[in-house]
Amino acid sequence: MERELKYKRILLKLSGESLMGENDNGIDPKVLNYFSIEVQKVLDYGVEVCIVIGGGNIYRGLNAAEQGIDRVAGDQMGMLATVINAIALQNAFEKHGMYTRLMTAIEMQAIAEPFIRRRAMRHLEKGRIVIFGAGTGHPYFSTDTAAALRAVEIEADAVLKGTRVDGIYDSDPEKNADAIKYNSITYKDVMNKGLAVMDMTAISLCQENDLPVVVFNMNKKDNLLELVSGENVGTTVTH
């Protein structure tokens, strides 16, 4: 059955923690397999997909100070953790027959291509999944900000933030059973209410460039496909 696509080019933002599955850290092969299947579904309908993955399952730069590590060094370690996750995703996708390109903000020629905007867009046009590693390449910027930046650069239709909850709530739904879900919300309200959607730098960048952000449950089967098809999935952040 043909689907009318709401989003033709997407940037999918995944947390490093999502790769842990039920483990305490590291990478769960079952999660990699599941993500591959879900991404394959949208590729089959002609959606162009790029991905930014965090590194929190391996190392979080924000924890550096607690461990006596300089913040800049800690963030650099976090960037390298995202590359490990990106390679794992790339390997999983290719096992499912999908074509990929890994591009990093820090040059590492033996592993990945350097990020070049026009080249990334060309890969997308050819149906390849483009995975962006190493964040922005600079300390003090989160992978949320990297996702917003890359999405703006490659002219994505939206940033889709895959989480384990089904949208944005007025409080943590995992701690408060009475939390209220928003079907849609403005960038301004996200910032004014201090909602933990993405960091303020990322939200501001999306607002300035009129780039929608959709927060949805990536762990629910077919959610990604239904979202790009315009179904009422997750919470959309717009003007």
Question: H helices within 126-231, ranges in order?
Answer: 143-153, 187-193, 200-208, 223-228
**What confidence score (pLDDT) does residue 62 get?**
64
Q: pLDDT tens for residues 184-197?
A: 999 999 999 999 88
**What confidence score (pLDDT) does residue 61 get?**
67
The amino acid at 112: A
Question: H helices within 56-126, ranges in order?
Answer: 71-95, 117-125
Report how far residue 171's alpha carbon sits from residue 98's, in angstroms, rounded to the nearest whole number: 38
**What confidence score (pLDDT) does residue 1 get?**
54
Residues sharing a CB contact under 8 Å with residue 44, sequence separation 6 or more, in sequence order: none
In the chain, DSSP finds a helix count (H) and a strand count (E) of: 7, 11
Q: Divide the 239 residues of the chain into consecutive groups of 10 and give the mean pLDDT of each group.
A: 86 96 92 98 97 92 77 93 98 98 97 97 98 97 97 98 93 88 95 91 97 97 97 95
**What confidence score (pLDDT) does residue 160 get?**
98
Sorted by where each starts, the structural domains of the chain and their CATH numbers stand as: 9-238 (3.40.1160.10)
pTM: 0.94
Report how far residue 52's alpha carbon sits from residue 144's, in angstroms, rounded to the nearest whole number: 8
Nearest to 219 by CA among 172, 173, 164: 164
Report how far residue 132's alpha carbon sits from residue 144's, in angstroms, rounded to the nearest whole number: 12
**What confidence score (pLDDT) does residue 196 get?**
83
Report how far residue 67's alpha carbon sits from residue 186's, in angstroms, rounded to the nearest whole number: 37
The strand pair at 100-104 and 129-133 is best described as parallel
**What confidence score (pLDDT) does residue 2 get?**
62
The amino acid at 208: E
